[in-house]
Amino acid sequence: MASVEEHGLVSAGQPASHVFPIGSRINEVGRLEVGGCDLVELAETFGTPAYVYAEEDMRARARAYIEAFRSRTERFEVVYASKALPCTAAMRLLAAEGLSCDVASGGELHLALRAGFPPERIYLHGNNKSEAELAQARDSGVGFVVLDSLEDIERLERIAPGQRVLLRVTPGISPSTHAFISTGQVDSKFGFGIDDVPRAIGTIRKLELVGLHAHVGSQIFDLEPYERLAEVLSAIGDYPLLNLGGGLGIAYSYDDRPPSIEDYADALLTGAPEGVKVLCEPGRSIVGNAGVTIYRVGNVKRIPGIRTYVAVDGGMSDNLRPMLYGARYEAEIADRVGGGAVCTIAGKHCESGDILARDVTLDDPRPGDVLVMPATGAYGHAMANNYNAIPRPPVIFCRDGQAREVVRRETLEDLTLRDV
């Protein structure tokens, strides 16, 4: 059996591996704690599956972003990419920490306003914004709209003349990441290619063009594309704002070593001209490692010489990323961390592809165990669905040993609320 230390988790009072939230530990009775809360006890109190967040982890990462830029420049803005965790409580927390907000739909805009983001610190994105969404942005006093197409320009000039805008540029930079989350290459549904930018700028008559925006992709470990990005945008023209997107990767596995926030800030600022305000849009790297998902093991199916399936009470309805991107995760038994039996974590949905994690090591998994998957803080709650009519899990915030439900668990009655 692999030792606890080999998995980066040690005894009570010591820090957890980098895939777990900051401050996580194994407590005196041998159970994992997040935000000072015993995960086995949380499972008993709130049920499973459940998304569990260390509140102070999100605060710490937001502050780390602000400090990384503040120590290097006075002209910066950190804009939370709310699609990673469009949860009002999380957005309220990040607004209080001084972040701005990136929204990609009318729904995300509604949440951002409800959470308390000042409208002037909100950026509306989207490759196909509806007229209703543009009118909503106008009526809300949204600070900036990011133009993504010629139709975007025409609609916004008609609906909200005078609106401050940024132009989204597809920079022709292809980072090393999954094709589905790469956005900066020439063949992209987002933005204007370099050759099309002059024409797009030339069509703007009734809007205030204050900057350029680009995003090369997500879950990126190689910072070299960012070092080129500011140079590419600066060559287009002299604008006061350069929004260089998000995309910084996080640790999903014990072997992952993502770049630091400080190195990321250095890379973004490398090619930025003097006097330009640089914006970045972190999402995953603020909330991803702040959250874990807890499940209850239902059965263990051992196929000798082939595989051991550990079935849990969730799956592709609460974490779609393994099915969409082949995303890999670690897993642990909450009160027996560091086991050595190789297992496959199976969801409960009626799909053979409903597999949450392959080839993870667990300590003698048994029915009734609480299983923990770290690094699920980004895009779990955001992509949660009701496949097989499974109610969506709650969101639990933990801080100093106190747990509170910030999004309640859906009920069976919720599944029929919209029936007419």
> What are the structural domains of the chain?
5-55+290-416 (2.40.37.10), 72-287 (3.20.20.10)
pLDDT of residue 134: 98
pLDDT of residue 174: 59
Give the residue, 228 or 5, on which the prediction is more confident: 228
Q: Is 350 a residue of the active site? A: yes
Q: Which amino acid is at 289?
A: N
pLDDT of residue 186: 64
Q: Which H or E run contains 182?
A: none
Say how far apart CA 39 and CA 48 lie, in whole Å.
11
Q: What is the mean pLDDT of residues 337-363?
A: 95
Q: What is the mean pLDDT of residues 198-218?
A: 94
β-bridge mates for residue 372, sequence order:
294, 332
Q: What is the mean pLDDT of residues 32-51?
A: 98
Q: What are 48-77's pLDDT values in tens digits?
A: 999 999 999 999 999 999 999 999 999 999
pLDDT of residue 184: 43
Confidence of residue 408 (pLDDT cuts 50, 70, 90): very high
The single residue of 37, 87, 350, 398 carrying the catalytic annotation is: 350
Cβ atoms within 10 Å, residue 189: 10
274 and 312 Cβ atoms separated by less than 8 Å: no
∠ CA 49-409-414, nearest 5°, is 125
- Best-predicted range by mean pLDDT (128-132, 173-177, 227-231): 128-132
C-alpha torsion 20→25→31→32, nearest 10 = -20
Confidence of residue 87 (pLDDT cuts 50, 70, 90): very high
